[in-house]
Structure 1
Amino acid sequence: MTQPARFTHREIIITMSGLVIAMLLAMLDNMIVAPALPTIVGELHGLNRLGWVTTGYVLASTVATPIWGKLGDLLGRRITFLSSIAVFLVGSALCGMSQNMGELIAFRALQGLGAGGLMVGVMAVLADIIPPRERGKYQGVTMAVMPVALIGGPLVGGFITDNLDWRWAFYVNLPLGVVALAVCWFVLAKLPRGAGKVTIDWLGAALLSVWITALVLITTWGGTEYAWASPQILGLATVTVAGLAAFIVVERRAAEPIMPLSVFANRNFVLAGALSLIVGFAMFGGITLLPQFQQYVQGASATNSGLLLMPMMLAAMAVSLVGGQLITRTGHYRALLIVGTVLMTGGLALFATMDVGTSRFMTGLFMVVLGVGMGCLMQTTMLIAQNSSPINAIGAATGAATFVRNMGGSLGVSLLSTLYINRLLDTFTENAGVAASRATGSGSAAAMTPAMLRALPEPIRHAFQLGVSDGIQAAFILGAIVAAVGIVVALFIEHVPLRGFADAPKAEIPTGQAPANAH
């Protein structure tokens, strides 16, 4: 696929209708599940594996993203996009039928495999039909779907948890998915076909899966299941390093690499990728943990915890839309990166100050700060990555950029959840002691639901809430430190004019050689 498709404005709008539905499908899932997680892990006795419900999904999506991107370049966007929707729907149905945490985590991973194709597919289709100079206003609309999902998802998930059964948090994807399949079948029919040469870098895909999985296992198990210096963690570290090294060697030699290393020759692409990783780290970690604080400490129902996320989501949606318009009109984006990273860091730092006395109003103000920062960054980092890549490698470049962001999400969820759980259990034991053990029994924390907590005696309930608060503080302190690194990264990104189709590079960048517009 060496030439971009030329679509009229009307055709772009029609095509975007299908893309918006598909993106909504992918983004709604995590948001619907988030308010149900306290109940899910309680009923399935799995607090110690809380992070894996999200990490399994994000990790699988991370590994699958560059594969879907490359398949889109080779086979065409339409067939790969529809296939990813189908995989996602099968995973959703199986998640709803899960009987234990092991099954749920495995089926969430299957969902994630499909979701990886949805996200990269939307971005790659946009890159096919709209030049970077005009893409900001359209990406602003698609990125605005994220806050809409982040608002509607928790509300739907909370309502389902409070009034139906948590399993419907997964089944609800099915009717929307059928609509997405039907709409995309027709609106994507005019997209150009792929190159026709189907050569998949399966060895590269396997090595990618190995080293990223080993890395996430280190962040999940280190200091908890196993000591940092234990043979298990050191062995995983060896697998990570060896797997990464082998992956680089294979990608340099592969005829059709799953992740062309040439895209990383561009300085802005690398910096935008680093920033995407940091955004993913903060965003996924925060969304996973905030409902815990709202339901356990602030006493919100699952439905209300969804409503309480609205300040962050509305702020992100508004800024994403306005930012997209500004980029299209001015062609400048660097200021958004700097402002966004500063506000994201500030929002996470504010969350780190929350305790059992923090009001919902104050939490809402903190969310606005974080939401504005996210809105500045969500679409801008992807736009820079795509603008730094040749047009015939847009799918692979979009997949690589999305992979990096999702890798940040995987690491964020695993690290922040592990830190949160460890601190929660330590503080709970320290404050409740023997009384808690007698009142709630062994393993009580892992099986604690918000409803169960409300039925406990006040001293034990307060001890558990102190544990949640301490865990939240520790997790968001780490999140703020990581986000602060993003400020430095943003300062090093240089402004490169956004190109039109006439300016698009026509060939891949040779490995190790930066494009002419790199600085």
Structure 2
Amino acid sequence: MTSPTPTAGRPAMSHRQVLQALSGLILGMFVSMIATTVVSTSLPVIVHDLGGDQNAFTWVVTATLLTTAISTPIWGKLADLMNRKVLYQGAIVLFVLATAAAGFAQDTGTLIAFRAVQGLGAGGLAALSQVIMADIISPRERGRYMGLFGAVMAVATVGGPLLGGVITDAFGWRWNFFVSLPIAIAALILVQTTLHLPKRAKVKARIDYLGIVLLSAAVSLLLIWVTSAGTSFDWWSTETVLMVGGALLGAILFVIVELRSSEPLIPLSLFRNRTFTLSVIASIATGIAMFGASVFLGQYMQLARGATPTEAGLMTIPMIAGLLLSSVGVGALITKYGKWKPYLLVGSVSLIAGATLLSTINYDTNFALVSLYMFLLGAGVGMTMQNLVLVVQNTAKPTEIGVASSGVTFFRSLGGTIGVSVMGAALATRVADLVTSTKDDIAAAIAALGDKAPYWAEQLQSGTLPQVSSMPEGLRVLFEDIYAQGISHSFLIAVPFAVISLIAIIFLPNAPLTKMTTTERLQAGEADLATVSVPAGMGTLTATGSTADAAASSAPRARDDG
């Protein structure tokens, strides 16, 4: 008699079947990325046209990142309780409808609001794609498929800015928000027809609503303070005390609620797992580098080098090339050899090098050097971003795959959100200081414009984010230098976090990657439980034999409890 394997009744999927199942997920991720990146190069134009300033520019980006971060653990928790396929389809619909609605915004406040709703859907796409992958692919095999996701992200990150620049220059920036609608429809159809997940036991859903409110309030207060302090009010002020105090109080209450909740939003027991804790720390730095670079490099190209939106998209290709080559190449190597830690270490070093070198750029820095710096940063992100989630999934309990995966993604998004806010605040402060210190040169440049002088004086006094490329020569050179110094200064903020990421990765336990999918691990656990539950003398040989065979047919489960 042949003993059943952990996948009894469900044969292992072939490479082709896995690709078919993943096709909808990959297209859904592409929708998310393309809808986000297509507006990246046109944001300076959008904010200028809507009369926004540097703070508005930062919040257009931060609003999406904030709601993505907050919603990610919620989607992850729902994934452990409800139908994951339906949740993923709902996330696509929510994301794309909010994106299309943003195209009708008439002011920066409305745009920020729709971008916030967009982030709710993005959080679901980011969290659920990782969870669903764990359902059908083992960690050992997942490397090369994560490389595919990295490649899709890279293509979308390259194609998005280029497409967005062309659309903005040819048809106007509003059309950028509508381009993802047909792709989203195709993604929904593909997910419905190709994604067939293993059946899971039904669990009564219990949502930690109080935890959601407290987490949202704490993170929002912190980000509003970071963005507004030093401009809307002083760093040391009543507003600072209220906002920082409120954020700390919200965080403390959130921890208390999570400890007492039967179904916590983020189970704090996850932090007993050293792999999870260190991966979270490393993910924060990766998020800061990834989101900060994507936001401020596009601004550097347009405000410091006079590029059009289309040209700015072309000029950021070196960073995307680094991300594409490293994510695909490293994913294939992890699957082939089963080793992951060396690549994470190299990636974190590359992250430090890229962020440090980008903090030295000026408006006239040789573009070959800028390209090299961007490539290093992109390579660092590509080697670390997806693989930190892989490492956590490898050691998490199969019943907590959803919250563990979304937990890492949450802190990466949170790191990116805080990073963009801090970098944006540093940029705004630095630009204001440089404008003040060069006011005599600016005044002289304006005076030399003759009849056009009043127009440009009014433009600069309005506080609206300027279109540097349209300025007269003398004025343009001054502001290119100012924005180059401000943006390079903001990249310094990412450096210490990248160093912390390297330290965290050094201490990550080097656990081998299991060859079992989440479904197989759950079934193996049920088999173990059945063995323990069989009364003495009744079928002990059969039950034990089945379990032993199941264990022998797979790699040992990697556990890491601290």
Query: In which range does the TM-score fall when normalised by the shorter chain?
Result: over 0.9
TM-score by length of 2: 0.86
TM-fit CA distance, 1:226: 2.1
Alignment of 1:49-448 (within 5 A): 49-193=56-200, 195-433=202-440, 435=443, 438=454, 439-441=456-458, 443-444=460-461, 446-448=463-465
Which residue in the other structure is 1:39 paired with?
A: 45
Deviates more, 1:7-16 or 1:348-357: 7-16
TM-fit CA distance, 1:152: 0.8
**Equivalents in 1 of 2:139, 2:462: separation in Å?**
50
Q: CA 1:194–1:161 in structure 2 vs 1: closer, same or farther (change >3 Å)?
A: farther
For 1:411, give the aligned amino acid.
I
Superposed CA offset, 1:153-185 (max 9, x none): 111111111111111111112111111111112
Could you tell me whether the CA contact under 8 Å between 1:62 and 1:404 is conserved in 2?
yes
Could you tell me whether the CA contact under 8 Å between 1:426 and 1:467 is conserved in 2?
no
TM-fit CA distance, 1:138: 1.2
Deviates more, 1:100-109 or 1:413-422: 413-422
Structure 2: stretches of 5+ with no match in the other structure: 1-5, 447-452, 527-557
Could you tell me whether the CA contact under 8 Å between 1:74 and 1:194 is conserved in 2?
no
TM-score by length of 1: 0.93
Could you tell me whether the CA contact under 8 Å between 1:427 and 1:463 is conserved in 2?
no
For 1:456, give the aligned amino acid.
M
- After superposition, the CA RMSD in angstroms is 2.0
For 1:180, give the aligned amino acid.
A
TM-fit CA distance, 1:137: 1.3
Structure 1: stretches of 5+ with no match in the other structure: 508-514
**Equivalents in 2 of 1:488, 1:517: separation in Å?**
19
Which residue in the other structure is 1:518 paired with?
A: 561
**Equivalents in 2 of 1:239, 1:415: separation in Å?**
19
**Equivalents in 2 of 1:263, 1:497: separation in Å?**
19
SS of structure 2 residue aligned to 1:34: coil
Superposed CA offset, 1:212-233 (max 9, x none): 1112122212223222221111
Q: CA 1:458–1:322 in structure 2 vs 1: closer, same or farther (change >3 Å)?
A: same
For 2:276, give the aligned amino acid.
F
SS of structure 1 residue aligned to 2:289: helix
Deviates more, 1:111-120 or 1:236-245: 236-245
Could you tell me whether the CA contact under 8 Å between 2:289 and 2:377 is conserved in 1?
no
Could you tell me whether the CA contact under 8 Å between 1:228 and 1:234 is conserved in 2?
no
For 1:262, give the aligned amino acid.
S
Runs of 4+ in 1 over 6 A off after TM superposition: 3-6
Q: CA 1:506–1:229 in structure 2 vs 1: closer, same or farther (change >3 Å)?
A: farther
**Equivalents in 2 of 1:184, 1:6: separation in Å?**
21
**Equivalents in 1 of 2:492, 2:457: separation in Å?**
30
**Equivalents in 2 of 1:7, 1:205: separation in Å?**
38
TM-fit CA distance, 1:482: 2.1
Deviates more, 1:354-363 or 1:61-70: 354-363
TM-fit CA distance, 1:442: 5.7
> Does 2:17 correspond to 1:11?
yes
Could you tell me whether the CA contact under 8 Å between 1:496 and 1:518 is conserved in 2?
no
**Equivalents in 2 of 1:393, 1:143: separation in Å?**
24
> Does 2:486 correspond to 1:471?
yes
TM-fit CA distance, 1:366: 1.2
Aligned residues: 508
Larger Rg: 2
Deviates more, 1:53-62 or 1:228-237: 228-237
**Equivalents in 2 of 1:360, 1:495: separation in Å?**
39
Which residue in the other structure is 1:457 paired with?
A: 472
Could you tell me whether the CA contact under 8 Å between 2:292 and 2:419 is conserved in 1?
yes
**Equivalents in 2 of 1:159, 1:361: separation in Å?**
24
